[in-house]
Amino acid sequence: MKNLFLLIVYIFFLWPSLLFATTNNQTMGWYGFFNKTELTDNYSWWTETQLRYNFDDKAMGQTLVRTGLLRELEGRHKSQVGLLFAYIHTGLLKEHRFAFQHAMAYGGFMKSFSHRIRYELRSLEDQGSISNRFRYLLRYSGPQVFEGTKLIFWDEVFLNIDDNDNDYIDHLDRNRFFVGFRKNIAKLSLEFGYLNQWTPRESLKKMDHTFVVYMFF
């Protein structure tokens, strides 16, 4: 019993303090605008812009523009595939990112869940480096907590496929966990809440505490 008590103390008190003592914590604000325009019954065009502000540095940390073609798939569950291109500007780094994705909303007793799988081919300007990354997002859209407002949870894991960067820990690039709300206003939807981004590296572990506001129209 004594050993079990000591284990519980270590897990809930000592281990987190040791973890965060070696972690670089940052406060961020992410603002995004997302649009899906129907072209035909099966095809649509996706456009998004994200602005990621670093409150600690008092400067824009990253800008992202992503666009591409989506195709709805026939089947038991609502799903789609997409080919997307993104341009990301982070400080002095400029990245071109090509992606293939599959998204699906479940049905039946799992109707509150959806997922997105994304494979990315990433290229940095002026460096000639190309890397591959796999992303998996699982999303839960809960019941209404207020009129027209739903509770939202999602988690997305990023895995580096290549072995060309020894700083990664077991290929884990980062993990994002979001908790917040989605509110419909006329033809707009607002999604806002807290996002935790954990980026573990051998050289430095980083955690971003992020306030998120996304607009879908």
Render pLDDT for 173-215 as a digit per residue (tens, 0 to 9). Answer: 999 999 999 999 988 999 999 999 999 888 788 999 999 999 9
Q: Which amino acid is at 140?
A: Y
Helices (H) and strands (E) in the chain, counts: 2, 11
Fold type of domain 28-216 = Porin (2.40.160)
SS3 63: strand
Can you spell out the DSSP letters for 122-151? EEETTT--EEEEEEEEEEEEEEEEETTEEE
Count of C-beta atoms within a 10 Å radius of residue 150: 19
Q: What is the pLDDT along the chain (217 residues), one digit of tens a residue?
A: 444 444 444 444 444 444 554 689 999 999 999 999 999 999 999 999 999 999 999 999 999 999 999 999 987 778 999 999 999 999 889 999 999 999 999 887 788 999 999 999 999 988 877 899 999 999 999 989 988 899 999 999 999 988 655 566 668 899 999 999 999 998 899 999 999 999 988 878 899 999 999 999 9
